[in-house]
């Protein structure tokens, strides 16, 4: 079973790569402008935020006060990692007696994520759709196997486009579901189209959208959704053009001491 290797007591974010929230910082134009620049946020998004600085500051304050879980909005990408021993301590197994379906036994998500998946799947089901969870939580050790297999099969360069190195996978957070076929054919299915249009209403955000490989570092993954919570999903849509990478990178830099 996958959970047999889960470490639940010593799990910590690598503090060298995941700075903590600094609640002393003032929300002001100069600060936010500098953070947007440091985070490499595109000019069109930066201008929209700075032109609506009061609303943005209010919404950012509310989001950070509401979201006390340090892992929910943590930034994980090719350069920013989780520690090898990080594993959520609230994992629950997904079952086929829910509104969603699973393609195999032994799949886990954080409890809050599973509940959010059930809520979204129930809404999809009311439209005659069934959401199939095909990949969920992966431990650091399991990601070692996944990444090494991809390198063997397709070579280092191609593997790095489609697979995260150990410690750099969002799946280690227990907040991610890969849906359906785990191919971009999923985008053309009824479920794929429904998710793309509706996932953010339920707190989910697509991590690797089409035509953003130079930004995210990964090829388009129409099936890969991360749970961030409803408020954060609305914040991402409102201020960051729906691009999760931009929003979480901004928060990463904003939290830097």
pLDDT digit string (tens) for the chain, length 257 residues: 333 333 333 344 443 344 444 443 445 899 999 999 999 999 999 999 999 999 999 999 999 999 999 999 999 999 999 999 999 999 999 999 999 999 999 999 999 999 999 999 999 999 999 999 999 999 999 999 999 999 999 999 999 999 999 999 999 999 999 999 999 999 999 999 999 999 999 999 999 999 999 999 999 999 999 999 999 999 999 999 999 999 999 999 999 87
Q: Which CATH number fits domain 76-238: 3.40.50.300, 3.30.1380.10, 1.10.3470.10, 3.40.640.10?
A: 3.30.1380.10
Question: What predicted TM-score, i.e. pTM, was given to this entire model?
Answer: 0.89
Of 254, 252, 243, the residue nearest 13 (C-alpha): 252
């Amino acid at each position: 079973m996958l959970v047999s290797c889960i470490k639940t007591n010593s799990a910590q974010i690598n503090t060298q790569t995941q700075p903590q929230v600094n609640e002393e910082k003032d929300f002001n134009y100069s600060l936010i402008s500098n953070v947007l620049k440091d985070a490499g946020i595109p000019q069109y998004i930066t201008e929209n935020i700075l032109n609506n600085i009061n609303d943005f500051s209010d919404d950012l304050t509310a989001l950070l006060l509401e979201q006390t879980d340090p892992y929910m909005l943590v930034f994980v990408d090719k350069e920013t990692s989780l520690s090898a021993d990080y594993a959520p301590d609230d994992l629950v197994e997904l079952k086929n007696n829910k509104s969603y379906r699973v393609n195999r036994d032994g799949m886990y998500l954080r409890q809050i994520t599973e509940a959010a998946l059930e809520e979204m799947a129930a809404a999809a089901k009311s439209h005659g759709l069934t959401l199939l969870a095909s990949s969920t939580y992966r431990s650091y050790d399991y990601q070692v196997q996944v990444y090494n297999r991809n390198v063997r099969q397709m070579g280092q360069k191609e593997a790095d486009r489609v697979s995260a190195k150990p410690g750099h996978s969002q799946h280690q957070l227990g907040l991610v579901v890969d849906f359906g076929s785990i191919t971009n054919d999923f985008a053309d299915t009824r479920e794929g189209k429904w998710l793309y249009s509706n996932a953010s209403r339920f707190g989910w955000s697509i991590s690797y959208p089409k035509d953003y490989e130079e930004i995210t570092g990964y090829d388009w993954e129409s099936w890969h959704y991360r749970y961030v919570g409803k408020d954060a999903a609305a914040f991402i849509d409102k201020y960051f053009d729906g691009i999760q990478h931009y929003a979480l990178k901004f928060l990463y830099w904003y939290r830097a001491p």
